[in-house]
Amino acid sequence: MCLLIVCATITGCSSSNISTANPEPSPERSRVAIGTNGQLISIQSSNVSAAGYDEATMVMTVMFKSGGLYEYYEVPADLWTSFIEAQPHPWSEVGNPRLVGGGYAYKQIG
C-alpha cells in the first residue's frame, strides 16, 4: 500500500489582496451639501439675476433684475434644487408658484 501525503504552502497572500465589502459610509462623509451657504450665484433667467440658499437656516435669497432683493424663510432644500434646475425659467416655473403660491414667509431686504 502506498500513502502519498501532499503538503502545500500558499505564499503571497496578504491582507492587501483580500477583498472585503466596504463598510457603510458615515452620514457625515456621504452627505452632500445643498445650496450656496447663503452666497448669491448667477442665475439664467429673464427676471432673476442671482439667488442663494443657506441650508442651515433654510433661507433662500432671490435678487431680481429689477433690483429687488428678497429672503424667503423655511424653504426646503428640494425647492431650492428645483429652482436651480428650472433655469432659464426658475421664477415662473418654481419661484412664483411654489414660493409665493406656497405661502412661504418673505421679506424684501434690498
Locate 43 and state its grid cell. Answer: 442665475
72 beta partners: 60, 106
Given a contact cutoff of 8 angstroms between Cβ atoms, the answer to whether 60 and 83 are in contact is yes
Cβ-proximal residues to 59 (8 Å cutoff; 6+ apart), any chain: 38, 53, 71, 72, 73, 75
pLDDT string in tens for the chain (110-residue length):
443 343 444 444 444 444 444 445 445 445 567 899 999 999 999 999 999 999 999 999 999 999 999 999 999 999 999 999 999 999 999 999 999 999 999 999 99
Angstrom distance (rounded) from CA 77 to CA 53: 8
- What's the pTM? 0.71
